[in-house]
Amino acid sequence: MSSDSVYKIIELVGTSTEGWEQAAANAVAKASKTLRDLRVAEVVSMDMHIDNGKVETYRTKLKVSFKFEG
């Protein structure tokens, strides 16, 4: 058996009303329901939606890697 592996990378955007960290955690939790062997999540950017001068939603964009099968 070879130790060589291939990983696929996808981009996700998680959202939260609580903060960027929770937004990232939400994205990973949702992705883990349909993807196996998630390995690394890299934060690409963070932003927020503002309405009437108030922060409504925090958004975190992630690159997530998982073991490629096939």
Look up the CATH number of the domain holding residue 46: 3.30.1660.10
* Residue 1 falls inside a structural domain: no
Cβ contacts of 24-28, under 8 Å, gap ≥ 24: 24/60, 24/62, 27/60, 27/62, 27/64, 28/62, 28/64
* Residue 63 falls inside a structural domain: yes
Q: Please state the length of the chain.
A: 70
pLDDT digits (tens, 9 = 90+) for 13-65: 999 999 999 999 999 999 999 998 899 999 999 999 999 999 999 999 999 99
* Residue 55 falls inside a structural domain: yes
- Domain that residue 28 falls in: 7-67
Question: Which residues contact residue 54 at a Cβ distance below 8 angstroms, ignoring those fewer than 6 apart?
Answer: none
- In the chain, the number of structural domains is 1
* Residue 59 falls inside a structural domain: yes
Confidence (pTM)? 0.85
Note the pLDDT of residue 2.
52
pLDDT band at 1; cut points 50, 70, 90: very low
